[in-house]
Amino acid sequence: MGQDETNAGTAYAATTAAGGFIAEAAGVAGPVGAAVAGAAAVGVAVGTGIEYATDGAISDGISDGLLGLVGGEESLAAANAFDDGDYFGVAGHMLAGAAHTIGGAAEDAAGWVGDEAGAAADWVGDEASAAADWVGDAAGSAYDAAGDAYDAASDFVSDVGDFLNPFD
């Protein structure tokens, strides 16, 4: 018997026992209690079948997703709590890890938004400065052109005056 079959058998036995425990704790006995334990066993069989059919892709994806959400440290703490039978501790570690991951993601998002807003403000400032420089250059050019036109007109008037009054 291979390791997969051993794991499936262990899961079947544990789930059947858990189903029986749930039925007993709920006060359900007789055929209904057996049906609860049987339903749990069928759930394991279906899950195991899906696991084999997908070559572990579903469970791997789920476990990778949970590990990414909860984080390695809290996942280990949750696994240890589970081994100790502290199921509330499992939930606490899973929630704490998820909260930490979500909080870190929110911080990263806020930092990104701040960086992008700063970059946008810098771009607007740079463009405004470039526009002001262009306006200043254009005004300077216009001033120079006006001075040149004045000088040309003044020279022309002076030349006309010299022509009309050569003895001056």
Helix (H) or strand (E) segment spanning residue 70: helix 57-70
Q: Long-range contact list for 78-85, CB < 8 A, 24+ apart? A: none
Residue 78 token pair: 């949750």
Contact status, residue 34 vs residue 17, Cβ threshold 8 Å:
no
pLDDT digits (tens, 9 = 90+) for 97-113: 888 888 888 888 888 88
Residue 70: Cβ-neighbour burial (10 angstroms; 0-12, 13-18, 19+): buried
Give pTM, 2 decimals.
Answer: 0.41
Label residue 165 left, alpha or beta by phi (over 0 means left) and psi (-120 to 50 means alpha).
beta
Least confidently predicted of 53-57, 91-95, 96-100, 122-126: 53-57
